Structure 1
Amino acid sequence: MNDSASLQRSVRVAGRGVVSALGRGVAAQVEGLRAARPAPLALPDSHSLYHPAAPLEQPERLWRLLDAAVADALAEAGVTDADQADLALFLGTSSLDIPDAEARYAEACARDADTALALDKPGYGNLAEHLATRFGFAGPRYTYCTACSSAANALLQAAQRIAAGELERALVVGVEAYNKLSARGFEALMLASADGARPFDRDRNGLVLGEGVGAVLLEAGEARAGDLLLSGGANLCDTSSSTNSEPGAIAEVIRRALASADCEPAAIAAIKAHGTSTPSNDRAEGLALRQVFGDDPPPFSSFKPCLGHTLGACGTLELIALHGCLQAGVLPPAAGFQHIDPELGLAPLTKEQPVGAGAYLLDYFGFGGNNTALVVRYLA
């Protein structure tokens, strides 16, 4: 993948489908974000980290969530069966189909633990293959697994291919479903909060995991009022740490994204921050924003207190949520924020702010130092 993408022709969001903790559909995301409705902190007993087996319907649930979001995106875009035949698919995920594998493994252990295989159907392309079979996609298929930047990188690559004239349209899907591997991993790293996400707050103590699917149909075409255009973006892999983000690397990927969109920092109307609520990530992002924008950056917010951190899916989920909020004319607050971190000296929005046409920055930073920033333009 090129480290930055300068888009030669307009790439617009033509269709959206989303299922998250806030519900199904764009309107549900906007309503929940505006109400600062926190993501659930508790799970049913059957989903507990220490429950011996996931419920047997879990595999079907993953596919149902995936199919629902994709069907909604195709319907909003008016994609016909004939169009689907050659539709390119770009899928981003952190956990792949591990929820499915965990459930099958639990069933196999119940039958015969000695012969049970933890991964009986390995492969990075299982989710994309399922969608191709379910919807009849015969075009090229790509899967991105770059931690929390997965779906953002899928968006960046798809937009670059469309802008270059290699594709007319592409379906970009971000998917992340609850699984014990991710939940136990963040628990072991002591990065999971027991009392809610508070991005950029002095007393932030960890993230809240989320799940969901966001599907975006991108296409080349004439822009119209209400459209969101992907104007540019950049990806940069920082090798300084396997887990922590570094402010200088984040600042650099933001600068490259702005340059690719021919956009000066002062032209950014607002920022959809990554804002995970972990001490190190928010510190790095906050310091990076000051490096790029100075002591008074544009208004910024994080959606993760309401959506949860959907890991590899947050690229599409949060893009869809931002688009919906822009269409409603507002940027929602970062729920849970109360105290300014003296090291950062920055505060996200604590109440919704009116917004309109203009350029917006979206940040996505993942484990392994895979950092991505996107620049979009909203047409009122």
Structure 2
Amino acid sequence: MTNSLTGAEAVTVIRGRGRVSALGLALPTSGDTFASPFNTHPTGVPVAALPPAAEAAVAALRRSQPAYRQLDRTVLLALLAARQATAQAGWGNGEVVNDGQERHPTNSPTHQLTTSPLAVSIGSSRGATGRLEEFHAEFLAEGSVPVAASPLTTLGNVASWVAFDAGQTGGAALSHSSTCSSAFQALGNALAWLKAGMATRFLAGGTEAPLTDFTLAQMRAIGIYSPLAATDWPCRPGAGRPSTFVLGEGAAVFALEQLSAEQVAAATQPLLVLAGVGFGFEAIGSKTGLSPEGWHFQQAIRQALAQSGVGPADIDAVVLHSPGTPAGDAAERAALRAIFGPTLPPLLSNKWLLGHTLGASAALSLDFACHVLETQQWPTPPFATDLASPGGQLIRRILVNAAGFGGNAASVVVELR
């Protein structure tokens, strides 16, 4: 399908968004009083798992039709977030209720879209890791696996099930994996397709369910996992040593459309605009590390600013990647100083509430940035850090960073118009 809304004047807007995380389906505000949302995994380490209400939503979704009972948790989290996004965008024909979920007027488990076909682009670092580990354990024990093992564990099945659940007909369904910047790879792809006229609507985001014994063992083997107890806010971006990396699970998905300059001017409500996406890469010897200068961050940030047509002085806040690892946190700040100078914009993070959700983290950070733009509020961490507290700043444009193993980084500029 060809989209006529191309050209320099057209913009990509976020029509709807959805999320699920350790905060459930909600977003934090500065007035909220928090107990630590982290809990202790059976392996003994702190994790940011879903709370009971969100867990019940996952269970209900799994039971909603036979085909969903075999899906990996990563896919189910994506379906929950995508349903919220399409409902908020008004793309489905179900009844939107106050919990952000869509109730369908028929027995069909999928959305029946009343608008033009859409494309889907979903990022995930590990993909269906839970089901893969289950199938592998079964193979070791019995020497065989079910026929469905391969299709259920390919990365491509994440986007294809989101497309199926959305009632998609005729559009692309693309899965991306580039470690912890995977969601921004998906967003960048969606933005490019929309600007090129190759799609008119996109569901794009990231999802991850990495709280498995094997994945946790991998993170602990690197030596970055937080030594703090689950009740003691164990993930502390910007707090320095020791390393306070903590795994979390979640998903965030965005309903994107391309609008003409005339449509933007005629809008009666403020619009969230995905203004630019940039990418960076540094070929360093350690594929788990990064340079002290954060060269890949610098490349990604400069590219995102250039694509957005703005300069450093136009950025009102930064949502950091900042996973709580001293070297990673310091490199990101060094990159920011190289671009912004010694005085940085307010630094924000949601990882102290959600943990590091790997391939979903960038999408959840962008969702948090959108929330800050809409409400001008965010919570203050209960530990010493360089993260900013709300203080009367007017936030109209936010830079969001992400980075991952292998030397890759990605940045997004989102603004409220």
Provide TM-score, normalisation by structure 1: 0.84
Measured at CA, do residues 230 and 352 of structure 1 come closer, stay the same or move farther in structure 2, by a change above 3 Å?
same
Letter aligned with residue 158 of structure 2? L
Q: Which residue of 1 aligns with 2:106?
A: none
Aligned-partner Cα distance in 2 for 1:15–1:164: 21
Aligned length: 355
Aligned-partner Cα distance in 1 for 2:214–2:376: 39
Q: Which residue of 2 aligns with 1:377?
A: 415
Alignment equivalent of 2:277, drawn from 218, 228, 233: 233
Q: Deviations over 1:39-60 (max 9, x none)?
A: 41412579999xxxxx998956
Question: 1:202 aligned to 2:240?
Answer: yes
Q: Deviations over 1:145-165 (max 9, x none)?
A: 000000011111211221233
Shift of residue 356 of structure 1?
3.8
Q: Which residue of 1 aligns with 2:52?
A: none
Question: 1:191 aligned to 2:212?
Answer: no
Aligned-partner Cα distance in 1 for 2:33–2:255: 27
Shift of residue 311 of structure 1?
0.7
Q: Which residue of 1 aligns with 2:51?
A: none
Letter aligned with residue 93 of structure 1? S
Alignment equivalent of 2:129, drawn from 79, 91, 98: 98
More displaced, 360-369 or 99-108? 99-108
Shift of residue 29 of structure 1?
1.6
Q: Deviations over 1:248-298 (max 9, x none)?
A: 332222122111111111111000011100121101101111111111110
Aligned-partner Cα distance in 1 for 2:43–2:240: 32
Question: 1:218 aligned to 2:256?
Answer: yes
- Secondary structure of the residue that 1:208 maps to in structure 2? coil
Shift of residue 230 of structure 1?
0.8
Q: Which residue of 2 aligns with 1:126?
A: 157
Alignment equivalent of 1:69, drawn from 77, 81, 92: 81
Q: Which residue of 1 aligns with 2:143?
A: 114
Measured at CA, do residues 42 and 137 of structure 1 come closer, stay the same or move farther in structure 2, by a change above 3 Å?
same
CA RMSD of aligned residues (A): 3.0
Alignment equivalent of 2:175, drawn from 132, 143, 156: 143
Provide TM-score, normalisation by structure 2: 0.77
C-alpha contact 1:271 1:298 (8 A) present in aligned 2: yes
- Secondary structure of the residue that 2:27 maps to in structure 1? helix
The higher-RCO structure (CA 8 Å, 6+ apart) is: 1
Aligned-partner Cα distance in 2 for 1:34–1:269: 23
Question: 1:86 aligned to 2:117?
Answer: yes
Q: Deviations over 1:112-143 (max 9, x none)?
A: 43335896445221112222333322311111
Aligned-partner Cα distance in 2 for 1:116–1:58: 14
Q: Which residue of 2 aligns with 1:12?
A: 13
Q: How does 1:1-380 map to 2 (within 5 A)?
A: 9-24=10-25, 28-31=26-29, 35=33, 38-43=36-41, 59=71, 61-80=73-92, 81-83=112-114, 86-107=117-138, 112-115=141-144, 120-121=150-151, 122-138=153-169, 139-177=171-209, 178-195=211-228, 196-221=234-259, 222-223=263-264, 224=267, 225-240=269-284, 241-246=286-291, 247-333=294-380, 335-338=381-384, 347-349=386-388, 351-356=389-394, 358-379=396-417
Shift of residue 377 of structure 1?
1.0
C-alpha contact 2:287 2:405 (8 A) present in aligned 1: yes
Unaligned residue ranges in structure 1 (runs of 5+)? 1-5, 50-54, 340-346
Unaligned residue ranges in structure 2 (runs of 5+)? 1-6, 48-58, 63-68, 93-111, 229-233
Q: Deviations over 1:203-233 (max 9, x none)?
A: 2413111101111100112344442101112
Measured at CA, do residues 146 and 36 of structure 1 come closer, stay the same or move farther in structure 2, by a change above 3 Å?
farther
Shift of residue 7 of structure 1?
6.7
Measured at CA, do residues 229 and 305 of structure 1 come closer, stay the same or move farther in structure 2, by a change above 3 Å?
same
